[in-house]
């Protein structure tokens, strides 16, 4: 299962959701503000390690991946 973390009014988040829908992949979408402080810190640290500095964040099996890595 994929977790997609985004922000309000995020056009890249909408595009990513559309792509995942077209691929027929199941995912859960959450706003970053819906996460606990602990989860926010954890995912932001993982994003920083992968040099990702914008939303959406795509998490699969606990790891942040790029849209190109989604299958």
Domain CATH number, residue 55: 3.40.30.10
What's the pLDDT band for 1 if we cut at 50, 70, 90? confident
Domain count, the chain: 1
pLDDT tens for residues 5-58?
Answer: 999 999 999 999 999 999 999 999 999 999 999 999 999 999 999 999 999 999
Q: Count CB atoms within 10 A of the CB of residue 35.
A: 16
* pLDDT computed for residue 51 by the predictor: 94
pLDDT tens for residues 43-54?
Answer: 999 999 999 999
Residue 44 carries which DSSP code?
A: H
Nearest to 44 by CA among 59, 29, 66, 60: 59
């Amino acid at each position: 299962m994929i977790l997609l973390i985004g922000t309000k009014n995020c056009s890249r988040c909408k595009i990513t959701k559309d792509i995942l829908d077209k691929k027929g992949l199941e995912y859960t979408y959450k706003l970053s503000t819906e996460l606990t402080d602990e989860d926010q810190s954890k995912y932001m640290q993982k994003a920083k390690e992968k040099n990702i500095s914008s939303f959406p964040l795509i998490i699969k099996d606990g790891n942040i991946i790029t849209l190109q890595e989604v299958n």
